Amino acid sequence: VEEKTSSGLSAIGSTGIDPETVRGNIENFIGTAQVPLGVAGPLLVNGDHARGIFYIPMATTEGALVRSYERGMAAISHSGGAQALVLEDENQTAPTFFFPTVREAREFALWLPEQQELLREECSASTRHGVLTSCRCHQVGRNVIANFGFGTGDAQGMNMIVRATDRLCRRACQEFGSGEFLLFSGMCSEKRASAFLMTRGKGKRATAGALLPNKVLRMVLHTTAEKLMQVWHSTVIGHLQAGAIGYNAHVANGLTAIFIATGQDVANVVNSSVAITSFDPCSEGLYVSVTLPALSIATVGGGTGLATQNEALAMLGCCGSGKATKLAEIITASVLAGEISMAAAIASHEFVAAHETYGRNRPKEAQDPPTK
């Protein structure tokens, strides 16, 4: 490749990774991209599975990002921690079936959801880890989009459930006696933003909440509940004016940094960052929460087994089987920290100053640091 592109690749090539170990992860492997990794914390989490203090690995090149999340984590931890919960856990696919008329399509749409036992058997013949959990049909004209739900254990699971879906579709057409299908309709919203994700979810539906006392708002965040409510109010209006999906301050920043660090499928940030951040005023201070309906994460498979990624998971006590729910709780609480910190920076007019301090000292651009 060096030859073809007339460029040196010594840094990329100087990887410690054995090409054999990434054979299922990538093709045409030539080395690694190295992304700077920092740690934010401590963060106190009160989840069902994540309980205690955590230090969060974040891989990013955006100056001030780790510091910003860390400040939100301080606010949460000084407030007694964030509750973090996984509300639902189901990945889903959405193939399309084709019929000659709307009437025949309806017949299929009524028939399919009644075959769940049959489909469950077919599914278990395809995958050991994926379990068919639901089937709902959406008829649009003479097309029927079948929305299959799956449990995928601690894996992100898209590969296994797409393979299972392929078998389910073949079997369904065979049993029904007619119909053709295509494996994807796009309705499942894998790696894209859609309103459907708000209600249907994808992977973990998780929420985190914390009550920030007035004292913490003042001492740690240099602002007040009233000012934070003004930020929430006016930015909600900005989102409505933009026709955004959901509402959040910068969920994508935290998710991306943690996803890269811990070996997640980083493109899933697009669906995972669909969110609703809510600030509710109360007499003691401010109740803050973030809800992530479509958090796609894993502690097994994909990039989770690679060397640096596995170490990052180990920092969180989240390596391997049985840890995905815990990881989801930690991530959601971390994201909440970022929402708090960003809103506070806007409210206190400290946003620019913070970036001046931390986003500087880049070798060639001391005067004009161009990235956010």
Out of 101, 124, 174, 178, the only residue in the binding site for a copy of itself (CB under 8 A) is 101
d(C-alpha 347, C-alpha 351), whole Å: 9
> Cβ of residue 370: shortest distance to a copy of itself, in angstroms?
3
Is 355 considered catalytic here?
yes
CB neighbour list of residue 341: distance below 8 Å, 6 or more residues apart: 68, 69, 71, 72, 75, 221
d(C-alpha 154, C-alpha 139), whole Å: 32
The verdict on 244 binding a copy of itself (CB under 8 A) reads yes
d(C-alpha 263, C-alpha 256), whole Å: 11
Out of 44, 112, 135, 269, the only residue in the binding site for a copy of itself (CB under 8 A) is 269
The verdict on 74 binding a copy of itself (CB under 8 A) reads no
Tokens at 342, concatenated: 């960003």
The verdict on 240 binding a copy of itself (CB under 8 A) reads yes
Catalytic option among 70, 154, 265, 339: 265
The verdict on 145 binding a copy of itself (CB under 8 A) reads yes
Is 62 considered catalytic here?
yes
- Region class of 303: left (phi > 0), else alpha (psi between -120 and 50), else beta: alpha
Subset of residues 124 to 143 that bind a copy of itself, contact rule: CB under 8 A: 127-130, 138-143
d(C-alpha 370, C-alpha 359), whole Å: 9
Could you tell me how many residues make up the chain?
Answer: 372
> Cβ of residue 36: shortest distance to a copy of itself, in angstroms?
4
| DSSP code of residue 367 | T
The verdict on 362 binding a copy of itself (CB under 8 A) reads yes
Out of 44, 45, 312, 344, the only residue in the binding site for a copy of itself (CB under 8 A) is 312
The verdict on 106 binding a copy of itself (CB under 8 A) reads yes
Tokens at 177, concatenated: 């006696």
The verdict on 114 binding a copy of itself (CB under 8 A) reads no
Whose tokens are 């009644």? That residue is 114
The verdict on 307 binding a copy of itself (CB under 8 A) reads yes
The verdict on 222 binding a copy of itself (CB under 8 A) reads no
**E strand or H helix at 97:** strand 96-98
The verdict on 30 binding a copy of itself (CB under 8 A) reads yes
26 or 219, CB closer to a copy of itself?
26
Residue 102 CA neighbour count, 13 Å, CB half: 3
Is 265 considered catalytic here?
yes
CA-based Rg of the chain, rounded to a whole angstrom?
Answer: 23
Subset of residues 326 to 345 that bind a copy of itself, contact rule: CB under 8 A: none
The verdict on 51 binding a copy of itself (CB under 8 A) reads no
The residues annotated with a catalytic role in the active site are 62, 191, 265, 355
